Amino acid sequence: MSYPTPTTLQDLQTLVTGSLNHTRSVGTAELNSAINAGYNKVLRAIRSVMPRPFEAFVDPFTFSNNVAEYDVSGLTPSFWRPLRLVVGLPPGTQQIIRFKQRSLQSDDFEQADLSAPGTFGVILYDLLEGRLAGTSTLTTAGCTTTVLNVASTAGFVVGGIVGLTAFGSPQAVTGASTTIPGDYFGLVQAIGGPTAMTITPPIPNPPGAPGAGITVTPYRQKILRIAPMLPISVSGRLWYQYLPGRLVNLTDLVDPVVAEHRDCVVYYALAQLKLAVGDTDGDRWLARADALRLELMQDLDPASWQNTEAFGTDLDPVVGF
């Protein structure tokens, strides 16, 4: 049995620049932007006909009794939407809970939110994204500009956002010569135990570090909000769909499903870079990319030309190609 060779952002850069050497020079930022544009184009094409390849699971995942919010910011690969929870009961008696998306502001969600907790085969959910405050804690003695000693690191995760009020860079007051301290926001670089964590960048507000009794707040970036809440804790394998992240570092791996169609990514990137400078050759690369996109969609789902979602003329044959 053979396995596909891993493809990285650097591999895609090499392929794209190999066709640009005699036409134009390109900076790293513009090159990565074009590659990510082609990457996302292929992702949307695959998801429109067969989202199944982008599935992952967490085992175990626990939905606690009378809890409505769950932090899914740190899951890898990145959480996109839940599919089903398979409760780990003996074979033949497994319980499956499915999820149905509804906006937090919708009537259906509000009614489910207000209903009495119970056992349900279907749970409504919404995914909240942003800077969402978690449970705060207080600093203890011995903090530095990069190390926070706190009462508890529960709720903080490596890579998560951490905030301290009035410990950021000074902010000028409009119409006055004075300044006020701004709020500090940084990232948790490491957690050194139940009461200490390393943060970055350093806290800028003199004298450089907070003393004891300062409020520290974790900020969650992605929350799974469910309704109704469950009356008892339920644990099992949570299946979910993920969304491959943006390619940033040279060693970032292209999702294996997309890597099989990397030529399409490269062609879209070349089309964007060439059309950006008025190169007429860009239209040829765009036509080739569209043709490969049509082929990959039909390879994944032979009936895709009948049931694809909201793609309009994208599935029409490329004239003259």
Number of alpha carbons in the 13 Å side-chain half-sphere of residue 145: 10
Q: Does one domain contain both 154 and 90?
A: no
Confidence of residue 5 (pLDDT cuts 50, 70, 90): low
Q: Does one domain contain both 122 and 233?
A: yes
Residue 83 pLDDT: 92
Rg (CA), the chain: 25
Residue 119 pLDDT: 58
Q: Does one domain contain both 273 and 155?
A: no
Q: What is the mean pLDDT of residues 111-131?
A: 83
117 in any annotated domain: yes
Residue 313 pLDDT: 41
Q: What is the mean pLDDT of residues 10-23?
A: 85
Is the CB of residue 78 less than 8 Å from the CB of residue 101? no
Q: Does one domain contain both 117 and 233?
A: yes
Q: Does one domain contain both 270 and 234?
A: no
Residue with tokens 């860009």: 282
Residue 133 pLDDT: 92
16 in any annotated domain: yes
Range of the domain at 73: 55-129+225-242
Q: Does one domain contain both 230 and 97?
A: yes
Q: Indicate whether this model's pTM tops 0.85.
A: no
pLDDT, tens digit, for every residue of 161-220?
999 988 888 888 877 778 888 889 999 999 988 999 999 999 887 556 778 889 999 999
220 in any annotated domain: no
Residue 310 pLDDT: 41
Give the Å distances, CA to CA, from 313 to 42, 95, 275.
Answer: 16, 42, 21
Q: Does one domain contain both 76 and 42?
A: no
Q: Does one domain contain both 47 and 59?
A: no
For the chain, what is the domain count?
3
In the chain, what percentage of residues exceed pLDDT 70? 87
174 in any annotated domain: yes
Confidence of residue 90 (pLDDT cuts 50, 70, 90): low
Residue 101 pLDDT: 92
262 token code pair: 């990397």
pLDDT, tens digit, for every residue of 243-290?
888 999 999 999 988 888 899 999 999 999 999 888 888 899 999 999
Q: Does one domain contain both 281 and 158?
A: no
> Has residue 15 got a pLDDT over 60?
yes
pLDDT, tens digit, for every residue of 33-50?
999 999 999 999 988 887
d(CA 72, CA 69): 9
Is the CB of residue 89 less than 8 Å from the CB of residue 237? no
Residue 318 pLDDT: 41
Give me the chain's average pLDDT, please. 85
